[in-house]
Chain A
């Protein structure tokens, strides 16, 4: 009942006197410190972080994160040269069924950016990330991030994500593996989302 609700809101007669505030500026940190804090905060969530010098080391780092696991799903545009050999690999062109994705043990994606202050990875369905569903169903997520993708604070991230949102892309912010503290406030990692999160930081 739209008209009735709007009538009631008008009847409240609130004078519009409070302007929208501007976000307070924060001194920016050197990039190296931002990167180190990012790693520290991601590890605080019990995610595993590997730091490598360049993309040529990616296959080795991914192999290490995979352990014995072979069954992997990646987005369609994920570069083949980043991956180790001999995987039981499927690529998602956006049409895999939920069931097909469920059969894979691990998902490997890139991300849009990382937030240093909070240790957060943000996926926006852009390059190397694929649909939301592939990074959700498998029990193990390996996420690749480059040092120049790390921003300092939440506000910096929100500003950078504006164009993705304007384009209608869905966002997933990930801070560590799935967790709950619902029983006696004891933290348990891994309820419905991936129980293991590996981050490979390049550069």
Chain B
């Protein structure tokens, strides 16, 4: 089950402590992130004017955020005109109720789902189950995660922490498959057999949305396996849930994103399938189409001049694959359906900076800046990380740490105070050092020596040596 939403159960440090001891996951993640990184570099280098396109994508998204009301109203009008129904949901609870109501109206006992982080964000599957409706994930990786009651560890390849033999055993145990080989092709074949029956019998599908065009009312989903096309074409009823920031003004604006998203995420020139539909088409696809516009904290993020750039995200996962912290800690450490650098700025903001555990996420970064370089819509993630750290610190008010830093500032402002402090330090360090190293620092400073040693202060400082040389 991919439920869990955006509420971390632990602080990042505690959660990372657990995930770092999972050596298999670390090995898998290192493999996947380095493989996609190399491939992505090649896919991007094929496009001569990539930097120009980044600018276009970034400005388009910024324009949308500045004119969100206009475009949402226009989208509602065009979808309705094309025979669809539009619903507005201020939070996860409202969105879940809307979906459940539609399912119950049609007497649906099962719904088939296209991989969607937004539905994971609102914890839809567990809720529907409570209402007697089984939600069946049809993306291979999401199915693996669901059948093993696990959580996704990567936006793009959610089950990447599992290896092939685990998946084979899982399918044998849960789907009644009789797989001997753990060849990925055989495993995918077992999923095909199981899901094909569902595609032809289940009457309602639930999806997210990659893009929605205000001007035409067209919704777009990009995918690889064809499970998306099945869900979008075969059932009678389709419900798509989209975050309000996914709207685009004109049909033409879609071009830059279709050019950049596949190269940034799967590192392909284009992913196998893109589906675009406008309301309801007679004799072709669902007879009933619902579009749910989800807020769930987004309008709160929108209020913040600096932090709101997180809403430009198109969920490509390029920032995860280049992040040294993500590569080692893994997606589960972030405790949210939004992992990696983008998760570190999105999750705490969606929770209005009120969740103490989520507020540790902006610290899950070395601020190396690789995520900013990789981001196709130019979200300045390091800038937002530092900004959010400032907010978290400010909320904490005066702490021992802030007092200590203030006195450091006072000491360092004057050379004679600094030199005096060094002398005092040399006298005072005796009881704490061993073989020229601090191994355990007391009190507030113990965090520093928790996982590493600190060399002791030298007998003579550089400043003292310099003075001596001058004489």
Contact = CB atoms under 8 A, between A and B. Distances in A.
A119 interface: yes
Contacts of A166: 216, 251
Interface in B240-279: 244, 249-256, 258-259, 262, 266, 268-279
B140 A182 contact: yes
Contacts of B300: 8
Nearest to A172: B275
B276 A165 contact: yes
B229 A193 contact: yes
B200 A193 contact: no
Contacts of A98: 200, 234
B44 interface: no
Contacts of A11: 299, 303
A176 B88 CA distance: 37
A11 B252 CA distance: 29
Interface in A8-28: 8-24, 26
B233 A185 contact: no
Residue in A9, A17, A115, A131 whose Cβ sees the most chain B Cβ within 10 Å: A9
B66 A16 contact: yes
Interface size class of B (residues with CB under 8 A): 35 or more
Contacts of B302: 8-9, 12, 14
A127 interface: no
B380 interface: no
Contact of A12 (B52, B281, B299): B299
21 contacts: A5-B90, A5-B293, A5-B295, A5-B299, A8-B299, A8-B300, A10-B69, A20-B60, A20-B63, A21-B56, A26-B48, A98-B234, A155-B252, A155-B256, A168-B281, A169-B278, A170-B276, A175-B271, A184-B28, A184-B160, A184-B164
Query: Top 6 A-B pairs ranked by shortest CB distance?
Result: A193-B226, A8-B299, A192-B226, A173-B274, A182-B141, A191-B225
Interface of B: 28, 31-32, 35-36, 48-49, 52-53, 55-56, 59-60, 62-63, 65-69, 72-73, 82, 88-90, 94, 138-141, 144, 157-160, 162-164, 167, 184-185, 187-188, 191-192, 195-196, 199-200, 213, 216, 218, 224-227, 229-230, 232-234, 244, 249-256, 258-259, 262, 266, 268-279, 281, 283-285, 293, 295, 299-300, 302-303, 308
Interface of A: 1-2, 4-6, 8-24, 26, 41, 44-45, 94-95, 98-99, 102, 115, 117-120, 125, 131-133, 136, 153-155, 157-159, 161-162, 165-166, 168-186, 188, 190-194
